[in-house]
Structure 1
């Protein structure tokens, strides 16, 4: 199985963004309507929710809606308000060394991913991140050195709120420190349970356990997998090995002082690296965010894609995923 990732740079929403949306439009809207549109928030309800909780995004939202054709369903989709349920795997951790570094694996269905690394300068703020729906982000960094990344929180409950990728976009558009991001996470409602890890350029970090049916819990956890304070969805925990992955990362952080490269490389091997693509939880990429360097490394076994605000080439990389763990062993990094 192969997947092509694209690096796209566009300062303000324009023809490149519009072209990507046109390419993915049918798939996006089919997903949005899969549970039916009856009873879902109307355009006005979506708009009011955005104006209430993320008013700074309104000029961007209006421009994206225009580029998407100005239709009702497109506008509701782009609001990311009360979206359909979706589940991911994912592991993420803050390296314990002196330089700030967040590393994550994104485990998801390869047929339901944008596969676009997007660099923008919307409203004057530079952001690099992995796109979700071309408005939200599943991980990313801004030019202040603030990094945000998500994992699924391991609970089935859904409620009234925003899809967490838009919350990450909002944080990276409007915040410069972990303290500012914390205030956003405490007040913006999330429609499902997700774990969001934040790291800033001064190595201040937090992990927020978000949920639709209880207040957010802000922790100093340096590791997040697919449960929160305890395992609540036991069958999902078994399938995704969330506890085993968390233990592995905690052991590396506390018992195995190691270089950045060795720490990042550990994400390319079991138990963090997953080949469960048939269940929708295969590892699509490993991302290492370096706030002080303004740099992100995208890694796959034997391959690295390096991007920064100062050097962001618009190119592609095609990844062929292994079928066995032996084939997944990373090549030496020089």
Structure 2
């Protein structure tokens, strides 16, 4: 079965004119039902979310307040945008950092999703990334040459803390080096098990995060969907997480980013399940020192974005017939 997703690339500047938030806020009722528990959708829940955001992500608090004000204070909106107390999704993904200064990743998700957006912004500094959770990020880079990406850590734990997409946004808005990023990831509470890879001009690190563990550096800058703790055998088998990690590591031994991208575009790293509609939504190749990222899909034109030449517009991507 063939599926289609439209990718959009948009420039939002500092978000003060409301042009970015208008279409996002139109989706708030749906997003609240999807992510925010009823008990959080109250004035008290919003106030608690803002207080927690101010404590841990203070530099971004003026932006949060701006976005909430543009939404006219809908109940639950602050908690939704702050990503506090949300029901978080669990999915796959593969990534590798550090080969010739790159961060290369597959994002795997439900291909029934109608769209995906690449956002260029200047909230606190220039950032380009793939949007998630309205203003959070799945992956991205900033003008200092720092890039970051996430994968699900494989363990269905949940605790107090933030959704990881808003934390990735915060890292890129406030950090310039891997060392600074690791300091943030070490102090900000994360609600679910996540693996985060960060790359700068000099180094690349993957760190395992979760509400029940101390931040733990991985053996290298590779990640799929497990951490340093064992997974149930059935989960490991169905997710192919160990096989995918071995495959992306082996590709990294080539030292050639183009060879790694080629590996990410074919099985077992690239996935497509015709029956469920689950698979690899995109492959992103970040070259943060050059300020550019290229999105790839099998047998379709790549799409490059950069700080010097951001290309707003839309691309309709086909899955299934071309994925094989």
Q: TM-score range by the shorter chain?
A: over 0.9
Partner of 2:7: 5
- Give matches, 1:215-254, under 5 Å: 215-254=214-253
* Higher share of residues assigned strand: 2
Write the deviation string for residues 264-300 of structure 1: whole angstroms up to 9, x where unpaired. 1111100000103655641000000001210000111
The equivalences for 1:81-230 within 5 A come to 81-96=84-99, 99-112=100-113, 115-123=116-124, 125-202=125-202, 204-230=203-229
Instruction: Say if 1:158 and 1:192, in contact at 8 Å, map to a contact too.
Output: yes
Structure 1 distance, partners of 2:130, 2:89, is 17
Aligned equivalent of 2:323, options 319, 322, 328: 328
Matched, 1:314 2:309: no
Deviation at 1:44, TM superposition (A): 1.3
Query: Are the aligned partners of 1:12 and 1:120 in contact in 2 as well (CA < 8 Å)?
Result: yes
Alpha-carbon shift at residue 112 of structure 1 (Å): 4.9
Displacement of 1:142 in angstroms is: 0.4
Indicate conservation of the 8 Å contact 1:22/1:68, yes or no.
Answer: yes
**Runs of at least 5 residues in structure 1 that lack an aligned partner in the other structure:** 330-334
Q: CA deviation at 1:85?
A: 2.6
Partner of 1:68: 71
In the alignment, the residues of structure 2 paired with residue 181 and residue 113 of structure 1 have an alpha-carbon distance, to the nearest angstrom, of 32
After superposition, give the CA deviation of every residue in 1:211-256 in whole Å (9 maximum; x if it has no partner).
Answer: 11121112352210000014324333222210110011122223xx
Structure 1 residues 145 and 80: CA distance shift in structure 2, 3 A? same
Question: 296, 304, 310: which is aligned to 2:302?
Answer: 304
Unaligned 5+ runs, structure 2:
none
Deviations 1:112-139 (A, max 9, x none): 576000000012x000000012221010
2-structure distance, mates of 1:320, 1:112: 12
Deviation at residue 258 of structure 1 after TM alignment: 5.1
**1:120-177 deviation per Cα after TM superposition (whole angstroms, max 9, x unaligned):** 0012x00000001222101000000100000000001100000001110010000000
DSSP-derived class of the 1:208 partner: strand
CA RMSD of aligned residues (A): 1.9
Partner secondary structure for residue 42 of structure 1: helix
Alpha-carbon deviation of 1:72? 2.1
Preserved contact between residue 95 and residue 253 of structure 1 (Cα < 8 Å) = no
What are the superposed Cα offsets for residues 44-85 of structure 1, whole Å, 9 maximum, x if unpaired? Answer: 110111111111110010011112222121111111012103
**Secondary structure at the counterpart of residue 59 of structure 1:** helix
The 3-state SS of whatever aligns with 2:246 is helix
Give the number of aligned pairs: 319
TM-score (ref. length: structure 1)? 0.90
Task: Give the 3-state SS of the residue equivalent to 1:251 in structure 2.
Answer: helix
**Equivalent-residue separation in structure 2 for 1:114 and 1:163 (angstroms):** 21
Q: Aligned equivalents of 2:207 and 2:87: distance in 1?
A: 22
User: Quick one: distance in 1 between partners of 2:304 and 2:323?
Assistant: 20
TM-score normalized by the length of structure 2: 0.93
Task: Give the 3-state SS of the residue equivalent to 1:192 in structure 2.
Answer: coil
Alignment of 1:45-64 (within 5 A): 45-64=48-67
Q: Is the 8 A contact 2:50 2:82 kept in 1?
A: yes
Decide whether the 8 Å contact of 2:206 with 2:217 is kept in 1: yes
Three-state SS of the structure 2 residue aligned to 1:64 is helix
Residue range with higher mean Cα deviation, 173-182 or 221-230: 221-230
